[in-house]
Amino acid sequence: MEVTVVIACHFKSKNELCETTIARLKTALQSAQKGDLVWVTGDVPFAPGGPTLGNLMKDWLAERNTESSILLGGVGTFSEARKACESASQKGLNIKIVSSLWHLFQAKPIWQRRAEENGVKISFIPVGHTGGWRTIAIYVALGIIVRLAIVFGLENVLEKRLTASQGSRRQGFTFDGCR
């Protein structure tokens, strides 16, 4: 059995998913096999006390009769990859990651390393035609930084710093990933 992990992008408004997140959800539904589980990321609200991206994604899936979704904890690629791979390993599941090409450039090495550490088979489903030039540039730069950190043995340092700085997302996440 497999689990399809859908990576959240951002909010269109405080109670609405962006076009990129919806494109990822649609791709996940198209690729999921009968009996597969669907997990979502985005355990962050637009503003304190509001729904999280993940909650909105779960609602979107439930409206389409996909009730096998859970919200992974975490505030960014490193923490989400750790939680998903550890949980998939415990449950004996393979993982499919659904995200945008620009996001996967940054995230793929991190997910591959966590999957390998946990003995989980992982694959990636890229979603094209999402994001804007600003977002693409940011994630290309982050992808280069991630790769350099791995090569120079600084992945743990980068993970700690990014996860700590991304913790503020729990107080509100308004970054627009579609620009």
Helical pair 53-63 and 19-31, crossing angle rounded to 10 deg:
50
pLDDT tens for the chain, 179 residues long, are 899 999 999 999 999 999 999 999 999 999 988 888 999 999 999 999 999 999 999 999 999 887 667 888 888 999 999 999 999 999 999 999 999 999 999 999 999 999 999 999 999 999 999 999 999 999 999 999 999 999 999 999 999 999 998 878 878 888 877 77
pLDDT value of position 176: 79
The total number of structural domains that make up the chain: 1
Domain assignment present for residue 45? The answer is yes
pLDDT value of position 48: 93
pLDDT value of position 117: 98
**Residue 68 tokens, joined:** 């096998």
Domain assignment present for residue 69? The answer is yes
pLDDT value of position 174: 85
pLDDT value of position 68: 67
pLDDT value of position 173: 87
Domain assignment present for residue 179? The answer is no
Could you give the count of Cα atoms lying within 13 Å of 11 in the half-sphere of its Cβ?
22
CA angle 97, 172, 161 (to 5 degrees): 65
Q: Return the bridge partners of 39, or none.
A: 5, 70
With residues binned 3-state (H G I as helix, E B as strand, rest as coil), the percentages for the chain, rounded to 5, are 50, 20, 30
Domain that holds residue 72: 2-171
Domain assignment present for residue 177? The answer is no
Return d(Cα 59, Cα 64) in angstroms, integer: 9
pLDDT value of position 60: 95
Domain assignment present for residue 29? The answer is yes
The pTM of this model reads 0.94
Query: Please, are residues 97 and 7 in contact by the beta-carbon 8 Å criterion?
Result: yes
Domain assignment present for residue 178? The answer is no
